[in-house]
Structure 1
Amino acid sequence: MTQFDLIVFGGGTGNTVASAAAAEGLETALVEKGPLGGLCLNRGCNPSKMLIQHANVANQVRNADRFGIDATIDEIRFGEFVRAVNAELADAASSKETNKREEEHLTLFQQEARFVDDRTIEIVENGETHTAEKVVIAAGSRPVVPDAIDGLADVDYLTSDDAIRLETPPDRLVVLGGGYIAAELGYFFESFGTDVALIEMEDSLVSREDDEVAAAFTEIAADRHDVHTGHRASSVAKSDGEITVTAESENGDEVAVSGDELLVALGRRPNTDGIDLDATSVETTDAGFIATDERLRTNVENVWAMGDIADNGMFKHSGDYEGEVMIDNVARESERVADFTALPHAVFTEPQIGAVGETESALDDSGREYVVGRAEFTDTAMSRALKLDHGFAKVLADPDTREILGCHVIGHEASMLIHEVTPAIRYGATVDDLANTLIHAHPSMSKVVMKACKDVPESVE
């Protein structure tokens, strides 16, 4: 048995924690069975956003005539750019591995492992055991594939891991799910000629967004996809190379949707069951995530958890922030608190969605009073330059203090616009600060946020 100061179980964002700890002189073991960089670099936000940018460029060319420019697409080298994207990221992961093997005080185990007690792991391949005074669990998540859909296990379905590696766009794609993964990949494949059908059990796509944003996006998506909201998939069957999904609504309406490929995009689940966490005393939530406190500590002394497996956001940017907290608390023995106030997120489809803070439905459920300001993208000067015909920003604020409680944007570059409001929420600025004190460059799109803040009434109507 080898004794380390620290074991980091998981080489996604956890790899930065391992390197920082090693730099502080801690003898550190980094355990990751797959390529370093984890989900985001290899199977998630990096490849998907790189591929989506190809779709954006293709659509910009197709829409050039709106600006009086005649342009055509002579060829789309789909397989070539898919291979190039994945090869570039594979090289980045390989470079990470090379660098880790050269770092002092760091030992990389690029093998499958499992826990045998609170702070001891076993390498599955050879039975070697390694223990440490401190352990950070950062083992990530994987796509949800439900058992309740009859016949699903009998067909060759895709998950997001597979879809980003398809080198030929399918003629027809059926997507189970309507969240951000389904929305982004549906947009990507549709942009290259695939007929996309989305089956979503909720009443709208991207149902975790503010209701008004979700409704607006669902309407836009329905213009380019075959959208079936309010339907739960009940069975899957394959015949003559065609996959057919049957889905039912609560009132018994049934639809059957067929395609050449089936993408299961029903969310992600923590990898707690795949690392024998039951061999430890580490507590998990009812949903299977590792429970942590405000310093990312588990209930077991000297054991921390971060990233998707701890469910403090399930975003790469929240994982990066947790990594910074973890470095301070584990490698430098500080007592830093993880503060997830004003954690933004974005959906990189067309149009983009950006959000931070509370939704209207969450505020309604809590009984908290709020006021709403709203502005259309078309009310800004820049919208004329960009020839925008849709999009809006809405701001939710406390009627008494005027502090911003939430902001939701759907439209051009919403992923960037939302960051005007993010620091305002985190540091307690008011809608009046953004509307009247902050000077906005003209005619930037950020003025849509300013206009939404100006639109917030003085009191609850």
Structure 2
Amino acid sequence: MTEFDLIVFGGGTGNRVASAAAEAGMETALIEKGPIGGLCLNRGCNPSKMLIQHATVANRVREASRFGIDASIDDVHFRGFVREVNDELAAVADRKAQDKRDQVNLTLFQEEARFVDDRTIELVESGETHTGEEVVVASGSTPVVPDSIDGIDEVDFLTSADALRLETSPERLVVLGGGYIAAELGYYFDAFGTDVALIDRNETLLHREDADVARAFTEVAEERHDVYTGHSATAVDESNGEFVVTAETEEGGSVEVTGDELLVVLGRRPNTDGVGLDATNIETDDRGFVATDDRLRTSVDGVWAMGDVAGNAMFKHTGDYEGEIVVDNVVHDAGREVDFTALPHAVFTEPQVAAVGRTEAELDKSGTEYVVGRAAFTDTAMSRALKLDRGFVKVLCDLESRAVVGCHVFGHEASILVHEAVPAVRYGLTVDDLANTLLHAHPALSKLVQKACADAVDAADRTTE
């Protein structure tokens, strides 16, 4: 048995924690069975956004005639750019692994492993055991595949990771799920000629977004795809290269949706049940996530958790932030607490979706009095230049304090625009503060957030008169 100052179990964002600890002089072990960089680099954010950009470029060419420019797409080298993206990222992962092997005080174990007690981890292939004075659990997440769908375990369906490696665009793709992964991949494949069908049990796609945004996005998706909202997949069959999905409504209605590929993107669950946590005293919550306190400590002294497995929010940017917290606390004993106030997120379709703060439904549930400010993309000079015919910014304002408590954007470059409001939500700025921020470069789209805040000021003034 080898003893380390720190063991990091998981080489996604956890690889940064391992390097920081080793740089600080801690004898550190990093354990990761797959490529370094984890889901985001190898099977998630990086390849999806790179491939989606290819889709956006193709769509821009198709739309060139709106600007009086004759343009056409002569060919699409689909297999070529899919390989190029994945090969580029594989090379990045390889370089990261080599950097770890070369780093002083750091030992990389690239094989499957499991816990055998609170701080001892066994390597499955070699049988070696290693213990750490401190341990960081960063084992990530895996796709949810519901066993309630009859036949799902008997068909060769795709996960999101598989879809990002397809070298031929399917003729007909059936997607189970209506969240952001389904939305993004539906947009991507549609751009390259795939007939996409989306099946989701909720009444709108992106149902966790503010209701106005979810409805607006669903309308756009219905223009591109066959959309079956309010339907739950109950059975799947595969025969002669064709998938048949049976989906039912709560009222008893039923449809059969067919395709030559089936993509299951019904959420992700934490990697806790397959890593031996039952051999430890590390507690998990009722959803299977490792339970952590505000310093990311688990129920076991000296054991910490971060990233998807901790369940605070399953985004790469939260994992990066949690990694900073863990480094400060484990390496530097800083006692730093997490603060997820004003956590933004974005969906990289076209139009994009982005949000920070609370939704109207959340404010209604809490009994908060609020007003809404709105600004339409079509009311700006830059939108006219870009020939945008849809989109809006929606700001939610606490009526008593006039603080910005939510901002929801549906439209071009929403992932950038939302950050106009992130500091406001984080630091309690008011709609008056943002409305009176005059130094916006004209005619930048960022003025839309200012316009929405000015509208909220008017609404608040009228309500309190």
TM-score, normalised by the number of residues in structure 2? 0.98
Q: Supply the distance in 1 between the matched residues of 2:149 and 2:460 (Cα, whole angstroms).
A: 50
Q: Supply the distance in 2 between the matched residues of 1:244 and 1:38 (Cα, whole angstroms).
A: 33
Residue 437 of structure 1: how far off its partner (Å): 2.9
Residue 75 of structure 1: how far off its partner (Å): 0.6
**Corresponding residue number in structure 1 for 2:406:** 406
**Corresponding residue number in structure 2 for 1:175:** 175
Q: Supply the distance in 2 between the matched residues of 1:267 and 1:350 (Cα, whole angstroms).
A: 22
Residue 438 of structure 1: how far off its partner (Å): 4.3
1:361-372 alignment, distance < 5 Å: 361-372=361-372
**Corresponding residue number in structure 2 for 1:304:** 304
Q: Supply the distance in 2 between the matched residues of 1:29 and 1:336 (Cα, whole angstroms).
A: 23
Q: Which range is displaced more, 232-241 or 133-142?
A: 232-241
1:194-273 alignment, distance < 5 Å: 194-273=194-273
**Corresponding residue number in structure 1 for 2:460:** 458
Q: Structure 1 counterpart of 2:316, which letter? A: K
Q: Supply the distance in 2 between the matched residues of 1:437 and 1:194 (Cα, whole angstroms).
A: 45
* 1:384-409 Cα shifts (integer Å, max 9, x gaps): 00000000000001112111100000
**Corresponding residue number in structure 2 for 1:189:** 189
1:51-450 alignment, distance < 5 Å: 51-450=51-450
Q: Supply the distance in 2 between the matched residues of 1:32 and 1:93 (Cα, whole angstroms).
A: 12
Percent identical:
70
SS of equivalent residue, structure 2 residue 99: helix
Q: Structure 1 counterpart of 2:358, which letter? A: E
* 1:48-69 Cα shifts (integer Å, max 9, x gaps): 0000000000000000000000
SS of equivalent residue, structure 1 residue 84: helix
Residue 318 of structure 1: how far off its partner (Å): 0.5
Q: Supply the distance in 2 between the matched residues of 1:119 and 1:404 (Cα, whole angstroms).
A: 44
SS of equivalent residue, structure 1 residue 244: strand
Q: Which range is displaced more, 432-441 or 350-359?
A: 432-441
Residue 196 of structure 1: how far off its partner (Å): 0.2
Q: Supply the distance in 1 between the matched residues of 2:439 and 2:291 (Cα, whole angstroms).
A: 43
Q: Supply the distance in 1 between the matched residues of 2:374 and 2:115 (Cα, whole angstroms).
A: 51
Aligned-residue CA RMSD (Å): 0.8
SS of equivalent residue, structure 1 residue 272: coil
Q: 1:438 to 1:328 in 2, by over 3 A?
A: farther
Matched residues, number: 461
Q: Supply the distance in 1 between the matched residues of 2:237 and 2:115 (Cα, whole angstroms).
A: 38
* 1:262-292 Cα shifts (integer Å, max 9, x gaps): 0001010000011011111011110000111
> Conserved in 1, the CA contact under 8 Å of 2:437 and 2:450?
no
Residue 239 of structure 1: how far off its partner (Å): 2.1
SS of equivalent residue, structure 2 residue 202: coil
Q: Supply the distance in 2 between the matched residues of 1:352 and 1:415 (Cα, whole angstroms).
A: 7
Q: 1:310 to 1:438 in 2, by over 3 A?
A: farther
**Corresponding residue number in structure 2 for 1:24:** 24
Residue 238 of structure 1: how far off its partner (Å): 1.5
SS of equivalent residue, structure 1 residue 215: helix
Q: Supply the distance in 2 between the matched residues of 1:251 and 1:441 (Cα, whole angstroms).
A: 52
Q: Supply the distance in 2 between the matched residues of 1:331 and 1:66 (Cα, whole angstroms).
A: 56
Residue 312 of structure 1: how far off its partner (Å): 1.1
Q: Structure 2 counterpart of 1:4, which letter? A: F
Instruction: Point out where structure 1 has 5 or more consecutive residues left out of the alignment.
Output: none
Q: Supply the distance in 1 between the matched residues of 2:454 and 2:208 (Cα, whole angstroms).
A: 26
> Conserved in 1, the CA contact under 8 Å of 2:10 and 2:138?
yes
> Conserved in 1, the CA contact under 8 Å of 2:198 and 2:225?
yes
> Conserved in 1, the CA contact under 8 Å of 2:17 and 2:323?
yes
Q: Supply the distance in 1 between the matched residues of 2:239 and 2:98 (Cα, whole angstroms).
A: 46
SS of equivalent residue, structure 1 residue 135: strand
* 1:356-400 Cα shifts (integer Å, max 9, x gaps): 000000111111111110110001111000000000000001112
* 1:282-327 Cα shifts (integer Å, max 9, x gaps): 1111000011111111111011000000011110001001111111
Q: Structure 1 counterpart of 2:268, which letter? A: R
Q: Structure 2 counterpart of 1:336, which letter? A: R
SS of equivalent residue, structure 1 residue 314: coil
Q: Supply the distance in 1 between the matched residues of 2:197 and 2:438 (Cα, whole angstroms).
A: 44
SS of equivalent residue, structure 2 residue 460: coil
Q: Supply the distance in 2 between the matched residues of 1:151 and 1:390 (Cα, whole angstroms).
A: 41
Q: Structure 2 counterpart of 1:72, which letter? A: S
Residue 126 of structure 1: how far off its partner (Å): 1.7
* 1:387-445 Cα shifts (integer Å, max 9, x gaps): 00000000001112111100000000000000010011111111111111342111000
Q: 1:438 to 1:300 in 2, by over 3 A?
A: farther
TM-score, normalised by the number of residues in structure 1? 0.99
Q: Structure 2 counterpart of 1:227, which letter? A: V
Q: Structure 2 counterpart of 1:296, which letter? A: L
* 1:202-231 Cα shifts (integer Å, max 9, x gaps): 000011100110000001100010000000
Q: Supply the distance in 2 between the matched residues of 1:202 and 1:87 (Cα, whole angstroms).
A: 37
Q: Supply the distance in 1 between the matched residues of 2:265 and 2:327 (Cα, whole angstroms).
A: 33
Residue 240 of structure 1: how far off its partner (Å): 2.1
Q: Supply the distance in 2 between the matched residues of 1:399 and 1:367 (Cα, whole angstroms).
A: 12
Q: Structure 1 counterpart of 2:238, which letter? A: K
